[in-house]
A and B are shown apart, each in its own frame.
Chain A
Amino acid sequence: MRSDGPSVDGEVRTSKATVRVEGFFGASRAPDVVAELLAAFDMADEVELALDGLSGADVSLVQLLASARETADQRGARLRVVSHGYALRQCLERCGFTHLFDWELLSATEEVGYFLFGGDE
């Protein structure tokens, strides 16, 4: 289980920052990842939430994604959620959210929808 914290490509404001979450994401990890995402939004206009190392998650991940999207919208930033495995999809299905993410959450940024269901695999 690992969250790398934001990493910055380049030093200008428009650079991309990545927050990587690995292993199981549950409520107890949420505060740390929220802090890292906020730091990432502070330093970059494009934030990538890398979930390709995710092994599982509870519903707090759904809330995190929705809030991250809201933050991106409010700041005029871009949020990319990258997931190469099934863990994210499984979490969304298990929590009864696939529909909502298809139509509402994911439509906020084109990239999210693209990467979310394996488009990048």
Chain B
Amino acid sequence: MMDLAEAFRGEAEDVLERLEEALLGLEADPSQRDLVDAAFRALHTLKGSGAMAGFGELERFAHSFESAFDKVRSGETRLGDELLGLSLESLDHLRALVETGPGAAPALVEQSNDLLAKLDGPSAVTSGPDTKPRGEIWGEQAWRIDIRPEPQLLLDGFDPVETLEQLAELGDCRWRGRLPESTPPLETLTPGHVSVEWSVLLICPHGREALDEALFFLADRAHITIEPLGRDVRFDGLRALGDIIDTHLAVGDWAAIRGLLCDTPAHATLAPPPEAAASAPPKTAARAEETVKVATSKLDVMVDAVGELVTAQARLEEVARRLGDRELSSVAESLERMCGLMRDATLDLRMFPLGGTFSKFRRLVRDISKQLGKKIQFVSEGDETELDKTVIDRLSDPMIHLIRNSLDHGIESPADRRAAGKPEAGTILVAARHAGTKVVIEVSDDGKGLDRDRIREKALERGIISKEASLEDAEIFELIFAPGFSTASEVSALSGRGVGMDAVRAAVRELRGEIRVTSELGRGTVISIELPLTLAIIDGLVVRLGEEFYVMPASDVEECIAAPRAQPGTRKLLQLRGGLVPYFDLRSWFGVEAPEAPHPQVIVADAQGERFGLVVDEVVGQQQAVIKSLARATEPPEGVSGATILGDGGVALVLELAKLGDAMRMAPVHVPEASLSRRMHP
């Protein structure tokens, strides 16, 4: 079981991300009241749950930080650059306190004090949100408020009754708690979870805004419905209404009949709690689906187990086929369907939206652009696009490198942009979208673009290309991924060390992805990364070379055709529907010495946007392949990304087609082959 501190760390990470997002949003537009509220709420959450987990120093710091933001909310302090800068520094400090754990080192405490002293000081330079609303109204208004807190609330350090007490400050107020209809015995009770719901009756001279303010901290941690009962409610009716709530009756009709309420809309608005819950306001509707946090290590175990299950199922299918047993085959088919469902559901558990990673880039862009004295706005699109958690984690560093490159080399200084007739502020756009079984992520900027001549010149200097090489623009841009290539005239702390882009491509390829670049001089650059949705299990095409079997991702395979007659060399060209497609002999590549098959086939693949063929002895069929890493001691042949177990228990190597394609492009060209007839689609 996770201990309290560990659980808090997991939660704090999310809360700090929300806080960062709010602060960066406020930097762009300090008048956004909802972002001030979001920051305030995040700090309050951190304070409460930090206290519960025993992070005393964090609680102290978050409390004072929260107070500083409360002054912003009340209009006492205006939100300026200074306070926002300090807030971001304080956010980093909170991260350090979370990382350190319950016992903060004296140096961190000292840092807390320094920051808090500064947070006390700054005053405003720009316009801020309106002052705290109270929403005074004429006369008295009666309200019914139903509150169903999140179960976790108390364990996160929130006492929902404190909110009820805040409501009571607004006027005449009483509330009733309700236990669930079926009370669990101690054996099944989840200790510490809140299962109580409250109904509140309030008569006050305030409008809805005042209620929202009092309910502020509960707003995103509870399902809340607020029903106006009517104005000019007689005070002596309050107790009677309270009694009605006690007995859980529908109070609307009853109260109206008894003349306790004057306004006719009361009939419509007074509904018993279950109906009120059904008409939840949009703000709280998203909370309807409860979520559970699970350690990724547990998900990894589950994915591994499903992988084994898929392998066992393939084995069963093979045995059933070999024995020719119909009943067994039927069981194997049912199992296959269930395995497919389970595989999809399990892999889906690992899917996370990219937005969380994108929001980190926003801060990166903010900090580095300030450092460089450039004006750069960060825009993200497709934040909701989901990708496997492992892929997201491993993608973060390469993407940071790409963004740093854009910041450092892509976007021009404000003066240069003015001179070029561009707006002073540049833009970096990170966009994600689904494309079939893949996800495409683009990092683009509206900077100066890649200089074709300069890249070529540099590649010549470094011996990457020969003087005679005739290259298209796309091929020249590809050179930036060559090892050791750099066009930066000065090495900066951010990028330009010439070790970046090849490492970025290697990292993307390790994820079975591909990276491409397009650019227009003076207009900007787009770097596009294409990734598989998941790494663990793929739909594979099984092929045979001699006695050995290989698996390639079916999503990269376009079609299979009969191979042309044998030609010398490793690289050849075939004509396919009017176009030339280079193809490569896999037997030569892997050094297979067994006698050649009588009817070899060519797998036509599309990897990194390049079509090419691979000659194999036989296409065996399709199979779900659970990809296993090769032992560290084993240096895998180039173009092999792992291994998998086949239905008969044998092992097959999993091919990485993009790498094979690269190898093919390096080989000498031979004469085009005659056109070929298509035989089958995989």
Which residues of A are interface residues toward B (Cβ below 8 A)? 26-28, 30-31, 33-34, 37-38, 41, 58-60, 62-64, 66-71, 74, 94-97, 99-100
Contact = CB atoms under 8 A, between A and B. Distances in A.
Interface of B: 4, 52, 154-155, 159-161, 164-165, 174-179, 183-187, 189, 191-196, 198, 246
Nearest to B154: A27
Contact of B187 (A30, A38, A62): A38
A34 B198 contact: no
Contacts of A94: 161, 165
B177 A70 contact: no
Closest 3 CB pairs of A and B: A30-B191, A27-B154, A27-B192
A96 B183 contact: no
14 contacts: A28-B155, A33-B191, A34-B186, A37-B186, A58-B161, A59-B177, A59-B194, A64-B189, A67-B186, A69-B183, A70-B183, A70-B184, A99-B246, A100-B176
Nearest to A73: B185
Contact of B179 (A31, A62, A71): A62
Nearest to A63: B195
A95 to B, nearest CB: 5
Contacts of A100: 176-179, 246
A67 to B, nearest CB: 4
Contacts of B185: 67, 70-71, 74
B187 to A, nearest CB: 7
A74 B193 CA distance: 22
A56 to B, nearest CB: 11
A70 B182 CA distance: 9
A88 to B, nearest CB: 14
A26 B179 CA distance: 17
In this complex, the member of A27, A30, A60 whose beta carbon has the largest number of chain B beta carbons within 10 angstroms is A27
B186 A71 contact: yes
Contacts of A37: 186
A59 B154 contact: yes
Contacts of A66: 179, 183
Contacts of A27: 52, 154-155, 191-194
Given A59-B194, A59-B196, A38 B186 contact: yes
Contact of B184 (A30, A67, A95): A67
A98 to B, nearest CB: 9
B30 to A, nearest CB: 37
B246 A63 contact: no
Given A62-B177, A63-B189, A96-B174, 18 more contacts: A27-B192, A27-B193, A31-B191, A33-B191, A34-B189, A62-B179, A63-B179, A66-B179, A68-B186, A69-B183, A70-B185, A71-B186, A94-B161, A95-B177, A95-B196, A96-B175, A96-B177, A100-B177
